[in-house]
Amino acid sequence: MREGHDPIELAVFKSALHSVAEEMGAALRRTAFSPNIKERRDYSSAVFDGSGQVIAMGDDMPVHLGSMPMSVQAILGKLQLERGDVAILNDPYDGGTHLPDITLAMPVFVGENSTASFYAANRAHHADVGGMYPGSMGLCREIWQEGIRIPPVKLVAGGSVNRAVLDLILNNVRTPREREGDLTAQIGACRIGVQRVTELVEKYGLERVTKNVTALLDHSEELMRVELERLPEGQFEAEDFLDNDGITDDRVGIRVRVTTSPKLRQATVDFSASDEQISGSLNAVLAITYSAVFYVLRCLLPEEAAPTAGLMRPVKVITRPETVVDARPPAAVAGGNVETSQRIVDVLLRAFAQVLPDRIPAASSGTMSNLTVGGIDPRTGQPYAYYETIAGGSGGRANGPGVSGVHTHMTNSLNTPVEALEYAYPFRVRQYVYRKHSGGAGKYPGGDGLVREIELLAPAQVTILSDRRIFPPYGLQGGAEGAKGRNTITENGRLRELPGKCNIHAGAGAVVRIETPGGGGWGRV
């Protein structure tokens, strides 16, 4: 606690600002068009101070946590926002993460002030942003194949939508009506955020709000520093691999060196030794890597720690450009968000496990096992596209076994009920169970993965983007590895193994089976 901060005011403002972010999220969920935002809740909301530091975030998607601030920074660097403006962007190389994630930000002006005092922003995953494949999540080699790239521009100027910008975007996507609906919802959510922050300023006065925002950032910083002070001094290295990039068979190494300085109460996280950027779409931009670091450190803090920019003040993240953890144009990046982000977390946890053996679980499944199926539904004659991520096992940890069949780390999206799936698509789900004995053995075994088996009742295009099919989730403190994932297809009675990343055509009656990895075990048996 620094001098002059009032512990009560601090707590009340923390709660009030969090409430603003949550209200923005609720408005977005309520008004969005697409199931991915409404149902799977693939969005985030946040409030920033005038210099673009995040001061509150909703309890949304962890992968957005550390990367949202870069969007606002990019906007501040490029645009001069006036009252009633809303900025938009999705370019991973200019404040974004991957193209489907579109971020909007709106300034809060107080009284006659000419500079913005706060910003309200939100990010949502759009179901399609153009490019080679429906859903914009396929196996591409360059960013231009992945969809439309939007640099920071004003989508709304002085309160009116800039129709030219909107039309340019809508002309480049497969489902323009749905996109327009979702973007409108994002604009509405920004306005609600701005209104609620304005109300806070009216109630307490700008000076008092600003003072408490400073206190809140300092408080987050202090919580992190207290934690860093407890770590032993030293350097801890770890590495792990992505199976391949989906184009070549080469494994992709991610390496980290964590340097702790408890006396200075700070730490450095250095990914420079990671592999060069790759041909496929699993490259992560710096924002993703930063997000993964933010996530892991946030997990080391108590539940009530507010995820503000203050948390990262004592932490330095170092990367080398043109590597898989700091991709540069024209690398394709769609999968960096969903797959590489998980591996970066695995590597970081592995490093921290050397210093905090009791506080770090063994590796979780480490992949989102993305499954996309598209075709024509014979019942209606209409095209359909199904997308889902399939959970795996979480790693064993010092308090007990891992959890089976659960989303971990950078995602937390829901599954689709079997009965909903069969109403919506020409499928018959044949099995949805735990994948027995897939969790690694140990004093506390890893959680089991899942088996999802889907029979296609009509011919379809199947795309799988999954990892941990070659390199299994690691065990810790003597625990065994979790089982690798496995993808197969059975056609005309013949079972065939599928690679971790593939795009195939399958006939009616084909059965696609995804077995997700189990978590690693913790401790010797």
- Report 370-399 residues binding another protein (CB under 8 A): 390-391, 394, 397-399
Distance from C-alpha of 237 to C-alpha of 282, rounded to nearest angstrom: 23
- Residues 427-446 binding another protein (CB under 8 A) are 428, 430-434
- 257 is a site residue for another protein (CB under 8 A): no
What phi and psi values does residue 149 have, to the nearest 5 degrees? -105, 120
Per CB under 8 A, the list member of 77, 378, 417, 478 interacting with another protein is 417
> In this structure, what DSSP letter does residue 522 have?
B
The answer to whether residue 191 forms part of the interface with another protein (CB under 8 A) is no
Q: How far is the CB of 310 from another protein (least distance, A)?
A: 9
Task: Name the nearest CA neighbour of 62 among 450, 410, 431.
Answer: 410
23 near another protein, rule: CB under 8 A: yes
**Position 360 contacts another protein (CB under 8 A):** yes
Q: Which secondary structure element, helix H or strand E, spans residue 62, and what is its range?
A: helix 62-65
Find the part of the chain contacting another protein (CB under 8 A) among 82-90, 181-189, 283-291, 329-337. 181-189
Q: Between 86 and 139, whose beta carbon lies closer to another protein? A: 86
Token pair for residue 79?
């645009």
Residues in 271-300 at the binding interface with another protein, rule: CB under 8 A: 295, 298-299
- Type of residue numbered 492: N
Nearest approach, Cβ of 71 to another protein (angstroms)? 20
Distance CA 88, CA 122 (A): 10
| Unique residue bearing structure tokens 């994948």 | 435
**Helix residue spans in 171-285 (DSSP H):** 176-204, 206-230
State the nearest-atom distance from the C-beta of 31 to another protein, in Å.
Answer: 4
Answer for which of 400, 478, 495, 496 binds another protein (CB under 8 A) is 400
As measured in angstroms, the least distance from the Cβ of 294 to another protein is 10
Judged by CB under 8 A, the number of residues near another protein is 77
Of residues 493 through 522, those in contact with another protein by CB under 8 A are none
Which CB, 33 or 118, lies closer to another protein?
Answer: 33
Whichever of 24 and 252 has its CB closer to another protein, that residue is: 24
Residue 458 in contact with another protein, rule: CB under 8 A:
no
Residue type at 392?
A: G
What's at 255, amino acid-wise?
R
Q: How far is the CB of 325 from another protein (least distance, A)?
A: 22
Judged by CB under 8 A, the chain residues 48 through 87 that form the site for another protein are 59, 62
Which one, 421 or 470, has the nearer CB to another protein? 421
Q: Interface with another protein includes 450 (CB under 8 A)?
A: yes
SS3 343: helix
Residue 408 engages another protein in binding (rule: CB under 8 A): yes
Alpha-carbon distance of 122 to 2, in angstroms, equals: 31
Other CB atoms within 10 A of residue 502 CB: 15
Task: Determine which residue in the list 264, 318, 414, 525 makes contact with another protein, applying CB under 8 A.
Answer: 414
* Window 135 to 174, contacts with another protein (CB under 8 A): none
> What's 143's DSSP letter?
G
Please list the residues that pair with 372 across neighbouring strands: 387, 463
Query: Which stretch, 108-116, 222-230, 320-328, 487-495, contacts another protein (CB under 8 A)?
Result: 222-230
Q: If residue 15 lies in a helix (H) or strand (E), which one and from where to where?
A: helix 7-31
From the list 15-23, 132-140, 156-164, 502-510, the region that binds another protein by CB under 8 A is: 15-23
Which of these ranges, 29-37, 116-124, 152-160, 245-253, lies near another protein under the rule CB under 8 A?
29-37
C-beta atoms surrounding 308 within 10 Å? 28
Distance (Å, whole) CA 118 – CA 447 = 43
CB of 431 to another protein, least distance (A): 4
Task: Give the contacts of 53 (CB within 8 A, at least 6 positions apart).
Answer: 69, 217, 308, 309, 310
User: Which positions ≥6 away from 88 have C-beta within 8 Å?
Assistant: 102, 103, 104, 150, 152, 153, 154, 155, 165, 169, 183
For residue 16, state whether it binds another protein (rule: CB under 8 A): yes
Three-state DSSP string of 406-456: ECCCCCCCCCCCHHHHHHHCCEEEEEEEEECCCCCCCCECCCCEEEEEEEE
Cβ count near 7 (within 10 Å): 10
Which residue among 303, 493, 494, 497 contacts another protein (CB under 8 A)? 303
Instruction: Return the number of the residue (318 or 420) whose C-beta is nearest another protein.
Output: 420
CA 312 – CA 305 distance, rounded (Å):
12
Could you say whether residue 222 binds another protein (CB under 8 A)?
yes
User: Could you say which of 35, 262, 459, 499 contacts another protein (CB under 8 A)?
Assistant: 35
Distance from C-alpha of 425 to C-alpha of 421, rounded to nearest angstrom? 6
**Could you tell me which stretch among 80-88, 259-267, 282-290, 303-311 binds another protein (CB under 8 A)?**
303-311
Q: Which stretch binds another protein (CB under 8 A): 141-149, 245-253, 266-274, 425-433?
A: 425-433
Q: Is 30 in the site for another protein (CB under 8 A)?
A: yes
Q: How far is the CB of 116 from another protein (least distance, A)?
A: 24
Q: Tell me the C-alpha to C-alpha distance, in Å, between residue 335 and each of 38, 169, 245, 339, 487.
A: 22, 22, 9, 6, 18
Q: Please state the closest distance from residue 406 (CB atom) to another protein, in A.
A: 5
Nearer of residues 8 and 164 to another protein, judged by Cβ: 8
Count of beta carbons in the 10 Å neighbourhood of residue 35: 14
Among 148, 223, 332, 483, binds another protein (CB under 8 A): 223
Site for another protein in 82-111 (CB under 8 A): none
Helix (H, G, I), strand (E, B), or coil: what is residue 169?
helix
> Minimum distance between the CB of residue 276 and another protein, rounded to whole angstroms?
31
